[in-house]
Structure 1
Amino acid sequence: MSSAAITTVLAFLIFTFTYFLSKLFLHPKQKTINHKKPPGPPSLPIIGNLHILGTLPHRTLQSLSKQYGPIMSLQLGQVPAIVISSSKAAESFVKTHDIVFANRPELVGAQIMSYGCKGLAFSKYDSYWRSVRKLCTSKLLSASKVEMFGPIRKEKLDVLVKSLEKAALEGEVVNVSEAVENVIEDIVYKMVLGRSKYDHIDLKRLVQDVMALIGAFNMADYVPWLGTFDLQGLTRACKRTNKALDEVLEMIISEHEQTTNTDKTRHEDFVDILLTFKHQNIDHGSEQNHVIDRTNIKAILLDMVVASFSTSATTIEWALSELLRHPRVMKNLQDEIQNEVGNKRMVEEKDLKNFNYLDMVVDETLRLHPVSPFLLPRECRENITIDGYFVKEKTRVIVNAFTIARDPNVWSENAEEFCPERFINKKLNYEGQEFESIPFGFGRRRCPGIQLALRTVRLSIAQLVHCFNWKLPYNISPSNLNMDEKFGQSIHRAQHLHAIPSYRLAGDGKLE
């Protein structure tokens, strides 16, 4: 065993012993009211239930919910937690009592990456968060802004189609996952930051590192006294990544400050919009006088890039995977689009409102493959009793969106199957009022960029299935396509999706 490993083990044993001594002598047992907790699995000292989560925690908790019920207690290290695993339980907890569960817990990675949680995703629920959310929804993510960025989506998807057309002519096997990630990267960076890629900076890798580190399991979040030692090295990794990303964001903001007054023809992006609010009070109705400074701008931009990139790319990847596994669904979707636009032109955004089956495919993809298996965790702001269960202040509430969307009591016995037709008479609006499928969250903390994400996802899928037929390579049949998951802040495919395209359009539809 290496000296570093021995030191780590000794440090853990010493502090475990110290912990027990402090519990025994410094915190003697006191009489407490016998509050009823939700049922849950037995826990171990120090680590609680952390040892049972496994490599795919969303599936582990799905299995446990069948034994302990849709409202389940866990002890995550020193953090008490409640896991919500049904739409009825979610509605009971966070629709009726949304404001009680509107806080975010303090996570080490989020604190470092998000500049002390000054962005939108991880900020605690207070007047600052309300001001930032109002700014983002009205100035960055409004319906008019979604329309304004239409030319960017068209330009980048045209480039993708042209590159795939070339691959089709040569009969190449395409790494579809990589192609989708690249086009979404271009769209998001152009929309948010005003440019696509740097030759000397791998911005995509930095963003992926941020997502991986924030989504990583960090013992310090659950056993805080271990945070000082950073036994996993995650705090150091977060600081390194944040430093590298901060340099990039500083450079981008400086570029915008220098060009704003000289180039009046440049397309306005999120950085331009946020800079117009720099040093201004963003909520004149608040007594707190929240002023946007450079740090706030960087935190908000990072949230926008990470959220936009992960949601869209992951959903498109899973949708194409399911379409390749279900040729009948693929043909139905291609027929719907071709009946509307013909085979001599590409899909335009104005066509999307006519594609009912496409909407069903997207709804079913988001149901089976929610962007995040667990919604970003919430934290109880006060003691409360719900459905006869006592929930203590600071309890962490984990909503298992993956399990909720596969509940056979709601979605019938074929809940694990990909079947878009289940939405023929059911339309999801994702605005947080329906709890059967909640890929974008609900209530006050739901994702504010729902319409922007859906527009990008729908157009990308429509374009790819209309312009190309797809088949699996290497004698892989639809029935044995690997659909294993890789757990993280988003659930990606464990293996990249590969397929062979063949061009479908004729005449004027062909790109020159």
Structure 2
Amino acid sequence: MEMILLSVFLGSVLAILFRKQLFKRTTTTTNLNPPPSPWRLPVIGNFHQLSLYPHRSLHSLSLRYGPLMLLHFGRVPVLVVSSAETAHEVLKTHDIKFSNRPITKGVEKVLNGGRDVIFSPYGENWKNLKSLCVVHLLSNKMVQSFKKGREEEINLMMKDLEGASSSFSSVNLTKLFITLTSDVMSKIVLGRKYSGYQGTVDVKTLTRALVNVLGNFPIGEYIPSFAWIDRIRGLDRKLEEENNKFNDFLERVLCEHDDVHEDQANPDFVDVLLSIHRENTARVQLDRSDIKHIIFDMFLAGSVAPSTLLEWTMTELMGHPECMKKLRDDICSCSNGNLHVKEEDVEKMNYLKAVIKEVLRLHPPATLLVPRLLSEDVKLKGFDITAGTQVLINAWAIHRDSATWGPDADEFRPERHLDSPIDFQGQDFKYIPFGSGRRMCPGIGFGLVLVEVTLANLVKRFNWRVEIGPLGDGKPDLAEATGIEVSRKFPLIVFPSSVVSHM
């Protein structure tokens, strides 16, 4: 990202020196009343005002220019929404007009222009794809049917942690969480695990690599004359390589399912998709590429996001030992002395749910949600927004608004949720970690049930410490990575010690 900003800066200087005509600002129709905008540079627009962490720099700009702010990233107008009130207008009042997605180079290349659920343009095809995924994978009934697979993988992780505890060894929790969520998704979606240590392709590595490439910022999409920067960075080449690897892996998975589909007594999600493809009678017509795109979505939402939520939760709890103790007391009182916490026990753990809600408030899976695209002109809060404008909803800023959450809005305090009616189902726009409206994430329950039961077992069965914190206080750092999902910048390395013998 540093190289991108430097290249953009140098490019803008050259533009200023050698292309004086670019100083001429494009005039707008006098009848239009656009939202407030920061002053922008020729060619690059407002790019120079973005930092490594766009959610933070956009929040700072909104404090000056307001909760509805129009920026320009190169030639592309971008509306930034930074308050619950303006989010309500976009996600509720005018939801259908804001339900499209911009088609980026990555989406065009990896997902064939949005032949999936997350990035698909709004329309009948998207509705049918979403319905298919909900019915066959994401509904409460289906989530409950995957209980055994979740328990098996959690128990394997606990066994690894017990071994580390016995040998006084450190553990890379970030890596463990990625493995856990990826293996659970593999069993549910693909029918079996695909892990490198079994001599097969490592699906978690493939998924992470492709997500990381997609998280790179494509300068050429916004400033065509600077497309050479993307070529120098090797962005197109990396995207091609990682996409080919993931595509080859999924083709192999589909071929394996083709060979055994007639003997499958308990079909997995790929079997279901292939069946629909073969019958070709459903409302949604799937080819093999569409199936691969849907599978990628499921791994992006079902393995990457939950593993990030788990690592941020453990980070915050280790930084607030009083909350860790309170949570353990809650877990122990609801699990009846059992060694293994069951999913049915979790339903009674109010403080556990409050902890997760607080982590989602401070560390939403996608800080700016998934971008939207305005499909027709609209008047919003008295301002004129034109069709084709991209829309970023800064959930990170909305969740830290002191007018809603109080003067301690930046602090980790799960107790604020214990008596609060606010939840993450998309009806209260003060708290939208999974979005709202038509494009709200349909798989909330799918990922949360794994996070809840995993966290309950981790806290009940182990004490945790880091070797040394950044301030020498034994607490983990809070540095953020950059990309599609804002995970920790550095792996969470910890020392677990079993507390089972003391219970």
Q: 1:115 to 1:492 in 2, by over 3 A?
A: same
- Match for residue 458 of structure 2? 464
Task: Tell me the TM-score normalised to structure 1 length.
Answer: 0.90
**Residues 51-79 of structure 1, C-alpha deviation per residue, up to 9 Å, x if partnerless?**
22111111111111111111111111100
Aligned with 2:480 (options 481, 485, 489): 485
- Match for residue 258 of structure 1? 259
The answer on whether the counterparts of 2:212 and 2:484 sit within 8 Å (CA) in structure 1 is: yes
- How many Å separate the matches in 2 of 1:424 and 1:442? 22
Q: Which amino acid aligns with 1:212?
A: N
**Residues 306-349 of structure 1, C-alpha deviation per residue, up to 9 Å, x if partnerless?**
11111100000000011101111111111111112244421011
Question: Is 1:153 paired with 2:147?
Answer: no
Q: 1:9 to 1:349 in 2, by over 3 A?
A: closer
- Match for residue 382 of structure 2? 388
- How many Å separate the matches in 1 of 2:497 and 2:373? 50
**Residues 429-472 of structure 1, C-alpha deviation per residue, up to 9 Å, x if partnerless?**
42221111211111111111100011111111111111111122
- Match for residue 423 of structure 1? 417
Cα displacement (A) at 1:20: 7.6
Matched length: 492
Question: Is 1:378 paired with 2:377?
Answer: no
- Match for residue 140 of structure 1? 137
Q: Which amino acid aligns with 1:456?
A: L
The answer on whether the counterparts of 1:77 and 1:222 sit within 8 Å (CA) in structure 2 is: yes
Q: Which amino acid aligns with 2:246?
A: L
Identity level (%): 35
The answer on whether the counterparts of 2:377 and 2:386 sit within 8 Å (CA) in structure 1 is: yes
The answer on whether the counterparts of 2:467 and 2:474 sit within 8 Å (CA) in structure 1 is: no
Q: Report the more deviating stretch, 312-321 or 31-40.
A: 31-40
Q: Which amino acid aligns with 2:348?
A: N
Q: Report the more deviating stretch, 10-19 or 448-457.
A: 10-19
Q: 1:12 to 1:407 in 2, by over 3 A?
A: closer
Q: 1:29 to 1:348 in 2, by over 3 A?
A: closer
Q: Which amino acid aligns with 2:234?
A: G
Aligned with 2:339 (options 332, 339, 345): 345
- Match for residue 4 of structure 1? none
The answer on whether the counterparts of 1:374 and 1:402 sit within 8 Å (CA) in structure 2 is: yes
- Match for residue 246 of structure 2? 245
User: Could you say what secondary structure the match of 2:301 adopts?
Assistant: helix
Aligned with 1:367 (options 353, 361, 369): 361
The answer on whether the counterparts of 2:218 and 2:230 sit within 8 Å (CA) in structure 1 is: no
- How many Å separate the matches in 1 of 2:77 and 2:458? 45
Q: Which amino acid aligns with 2:155?
A: D
User: Could you say what secondary structure the match of 1:354 adopts?
Assistant: coil
The answer on whether the counterparts of 1:363 and 1:428 sit within 8 Å (CA) in structure 2 is: no
- Match for residue 296 of structure 1? 290
The answer on whether the counterparts of 1:177 and 1:496 sit within 8 Å (CA) in structure 2 is: yes
- How many Å separate the matches in 2 of 1:391 and 1:80? 10
Q: Which amino acid aligns with 2:150?
A: R
The answer on whether the counterparts of 1:220 and 1:230 sit within 8 Å (CA) in structure 2 is: yes
The answer on whether the counterparts of 1:343 and 1:506 sit within 8 Å (CA) in structure 2 is: no
- Match for residue 124 of structure 1? 121
Task: Tell me the TM-score normalised to structure 2 length.
Answer: 0.92
Aligned with 1:439 (options 433, 437, 457): 433
Q: 1:44 to 1:282 in 2, by over 3 A?
A: farther
Question: Is 1:454 paired with 2:448?
Answer: yes
Q: Which amino acid aligns with 1:52?
A: Q
Q: Which amino acid aligns with 2:149?
A: I
Q: 1:20 to 1:322 in 2, by over 3 A?
A: same
- How many Å separate the matches in 2 of 1:35 and 1:8? 30
Unaligned runs of 5+ in 1: 1-6, 285-289
Cα displacement (A) at 1:392: 0.7
- How many Å separate the matches in 2 of 1:485 and 1:155? 31
Cα displacement (A) at 1:139: 1.7
Q: Report the more deviating stretch, 219-228 or 441-450.
A: 219-228
- How many Å separate the matches in 1 of 2:439 and 2:302? 16
- How many Å separate the matches in 2 of 1:429 and 1:29? 44
The answer on whether the counterparts of 2:178 and 2:204 sit within 8 Å (CA) in structure 1 is: no
- How many Å separate the matches in 1 of 2:285 and 2:87? 35
User: Could you say what secondary structure the match of 1:260 adopts?
Assistant: helix
The answer on whether the counterparts of 1:74 and 1:82 sit within 8 Å (CA) in structure 2 is: yes
- Match for residue 271 of structure 1? 270
- How many Å separate the matches in 1 of 2:86 and 2:201? 45
Unaligned runs of 5+ in 2: 1-6
